[in-house]
Amino acid sequence: MTTIRTSCPVCGDVELAPTDLSLHLTPSSGTGTYVFACPHCEQLQSRPANHRVVSILLATGVAYEVVDDSGPITETEIREFVSSLDGDEWRHHLRL
Ligand SMILES: [Zn+2]
């Protein structure tokens, strides 16, 4: 399985599976924001994704959604993502 390396401001470098991330794409710029729950501290992290990062994430099969250009990730989107983590499904990925 593909491993994505990123970093948590608290824990430092972490490794994630593509299913652990959610990418929000801004079509006009080709960049976006990706969101993940740190496997160590379980805090939700949101990071900007430049062209290169977007390409890498899409190539690894990360789920994405297109957002409009009005701004970065919203509180509503964060809440929706958090609520989607309520199930046990995602926890399996973190043990891979
Ligand atoms: Zn962390």
pLDDT digit string, tens, across residues 8-66 = 999 999 999 999 999 999 888 889 999 999 999 999 999 999 999 999 999 999 999 99
Residue 19 is predicted with a pLDDT of 94
What tokens appear for 13 in the block? 């470098």
CA 51 to chain centroid:
15
Distance 44 CA to ligand 1 centre (A): 8
Distance 28 CA to ligand 1 centre (A): 31
Residue 22 is predicted with a pLDDT of 95
Residue 26 is predicted with a pLDDT of 87
Given the structure tokens 């794409």, which residue do they identify? 25
- pLDDT of 70 higher than 80: no
Residue 21 is predicted with a pLDDT of 94
For the whole model, what pTM was predicted?
A: 0.65
- pLDDT of 68 higher than 80: no
Residues 6+ away with beta carbon under 8 Å from 43: 8, 10, 37
For residues 44 and 30, give the distance between their C-alpha atoms in angstroms, rounded to a whole number: 23
Distance 16 CA to ligand 1 centre (A): 12
Distance 94 CA to ligand 1 centre (A): 13
